[in-house]
Structure 1
Amino acid sequence: MTRSDSCVLLIDGGGSGARARLCTLSGEVLATGTAGPSNISTDFEAAAANLMGLAHAVYAQAGRDITSFANDYAFVALAGAGASAQRQELIDRFGFRRMILATDIDVTLAAALGTEQDGLVAMLGTGSFFVWREQGQVRRVGGWGFILGDECGGAWLGRELLRDTIKAYDGVGPSSNLTQKVLDHFGGTPKNMVPFARDSKAADFAKFAPWITEAVAAGDVVAQQIVNRAVQQLCDTIGPAHNVPQQHLCFLGGLGRFYQSQMPAEYQAICHSAKGEALDGAFWLAQKEFGF
């Protein structure tokens, strides 16, 4: 095989799942696929297995043998990649001609702003992080994982909901239809929440985030107070709207659109759509790194 026969595998993965796209070097999409959680810093073996299975699935869908790995390229952006000591081990397992293991922060910035635009990106999925680009300088905040950070992400929302439900049960906080729904889910008592909280991962907590967003639409008081706390945290992290580079603010992730709708008017006024999806950003970065 020659380079003209090569393809590039693009993967964007996080705590809740991963998406892949197999392309020709010119960008023609040959196959796509999804897989389970792929944060290599929280569970390396499970993430590696999910990613390998995903790669095999998209290659099979494209009718391309996995022996082609040796002639192909891969640009893989994963949550936790920056903190993992097993980066090279993952690269070696795949055996691509060349493989770059980037963070989800890198690919999110490229997807939101392209390669030139200054601005601020707020990524709000299972976890959260924020990236500023101004005059060629990039500054990152957050992305440290559910235990120590990831404020306002889906897992954070889920944990806040369980905490507020316990307060309602104990009579030291307001109760609502939402807190009753959570109690019913756990058998009517917070006692069953304790082993859940002890044994669960971020993605498990994040499953409660849609309960909150739906309850806000229904006027639930507890859901609204959780979102109010989150919005205040976002405003504190972003800083004054007039300081956002080039007045270009982009909310991304599964919760991005929801949070944008909840922000004060001065922030909503400077919001812009992303230039592409995460896998588009991965392709643009792959073009730059591999010289397509």
Structure 2
Amino acid sequence: MTAQQQFFIGIDGGGTKCKARLEDANGTLLVEAIAGPANAARDLDGTLHSIYMACDMLLSQVADLNISYAQIHAGIGLAGVNLPHVKEELLARKHPFASQVISTDLHIACLGAHSGEDGAIIITGTGSSGASIVNNKCIEIGGHGFVVGDKGSGAWLGKMAVTHSLEALDGIITPCILSQSVLDVLQCKTAYDLVTMSINAKPAFFAQLAPLVLNLATDKQPAAITLVSDGANYISQLARCLMQQASSRISIIGGISSLLIPWLAPDVRAILSDAKLPPEAGAILLAKTNLTQ
């Protein structure tokens, strides 16, 4: 192994997990790894910890190759770096790589979904957001965070389900399968229990409830249908907005995408294309582009 041999790591960091892949200079996938949450706006130090943990996990799987960080070009896409001050602080931190380029999780997802060509992407995971790339220009929509945005996301669905359950406990609405299921999953019996568990919870806590809500909606539970339909209507409108930006193809990815797609408007479902590559592969495309500039 010589110091001149180059390798590429692609990082896709989101609110729930940090996914990474290692490729050689020929684009051959060597190994993949998953570490903890990596939302830079919520926890910068924690994000860096997740990134380097994922990288260490990759290198430990190919220890026989004796790859050093100095041989690696890193492309990193993270939730939260759409905020300029967050990206500036992250760039100010020293890194061990031969080169590093940082962008948003949306940007790398869009690059991956369309293999570096023009197109649009919607992410419906812990959060929700959309982006389009036209003539190498990336325009992002949404991604405003759990507190004031992320409608139609896993965290949003979970939060709305918790709110619904609290209203049922308070006697404002009639208890139903959804409200009781939330209490059962979280092992809560009273409003106090539920508020205590939720008040300082991170988005990933609420996102764990999203599959429950989506599956109950599929089973035609009325309250779940109302929540899922509301979120899906937003995602459908987001897709239409992106396609107005002259995007040639659009993909939807993320942890709840497969369960949410059937609830999207027919005109939106009709134009969806499968993503060609995962976001972490898009991050490697970004790293390679960065080397040529």
Say if 1:241 and 1:247, in contact at 8 Å, map to a contact too: no
Between stretches 172-181 and 48-57, larger displacement belongs to 172-181
Structure 2 residues not aligned, in runs of 5+: none
Structure 1 residues not aligned, in runs of 5+: none
Q: Distance in 2 between matches of 1:241 and 1:37?
A: 27
Residues 186-241 of structure 1, C-alpha deviation per residue, up to 9 Å, x if partnerless? 42112112222221111111111111122122222211111011122223333479
Q: Distance in 2 between matches of 1:241 and 1:131?
A: 7
Provide the residue aligned with 2:254 in structure 1: 253
Q: TM-score, normalised by structure 2?
A: 0.89
Shift of the 137–242 alpha-carbon distance from structure 1 to 2, 3 Å rule, reads closer
Residues 158-177 of structure 1, C-alpha deviation per residue, up to 9 Å, x if partnerless? 10000111122223334321
Say if 1:80 and 1:103, in contact at 8 Å, map to a contact too: yes
Q: Distance in 1 between matches of 2:62 and 2:134?
A: 40
Asked if 1:277 corresponds to 2:278, the answer is yes
Name the SS for the 1:16 alignment partner: coil
Q: Distance in 2 between matches of 1:35 and 1:60?
A: 14
Alpha-carbon deviation of 1:243? 4.2
Provide the residue aligned with 1:23 in structure 2: 23
Provide the residue aligned with 2:142 in structure 1: 142
Identify which of structures 1 and 2 has the higher relative contact order when contacts are C-alpha pairs closer than 8 Å and 6+ apart: 2
Letter in 1 for 2:171: G
Asked if 1:159 corresponds to 2:159, the answer is yes
User: After the TM superposition, which residues 64-143 of structure 1 pair with which residues of structure 2 at under 5 Å, given as runs?
Assistant: 64-65=65-66, 68-83=68-83, 84=86, 85-90=88-93, 92=94, 94-118=95-119, 120-134=120-134, 137-143=137-143
Q: TM-score, normalised by structure 1?
A: 0.90
Equivalenced residue count is 288
Q: Distance in 2 between matches of 1:72 and 1:137?
A: 26
Shift of the 197–9 alpha-carbon distance from structure 1 to 2, 3 Å rule, reads same
How many percent of aligned residue pairs carry the same amino acid? Answer: 25
Shift of the 52–215 alpha-carbon distance from structure 1 to 2, 3 Å rule, reads same
Alpha-carbon deviation of 1:72? 2.1
Shift of the 137–56 alpha-carbon distance from structure 1 to 2, 3 Å rule, reads closer
Name the SS for the 1:81 alignment partner: coil
Q: Distance in 2 between matches of 1:13 and 1:290?
A: 21
Q: Distance in 2 between matches of 1:266 and 1:31?
A: 38
Name the SS for the 1:95 alignment partner: coil
Alpha-carbon deviation of 1:132? 2.8
Q: Distance in 2 between matches of 1:241 and 1:143?
A: 14
Provide the residue aligned with 1:37 in structure 2: 37
What RMSD over aligned residues (CA atoms) do the two structures have, in Å?
A: 2.3
Q: Distance in 2 between matches of 1:267 and 1:240?
A: 11
Letter in 2 for 1:76: I
Say if 1:241 and 1:266, in contact at 8 Å, map to a contact too: no
Q: Distance in 2 between matches of 1:36 and 1:195?
A: 24
Q: Distance in 2 between matches of 1:45 and 1:251?
A: 29
Q: Distance in 2 between matches of 1:5 and 1:282?
A: 19
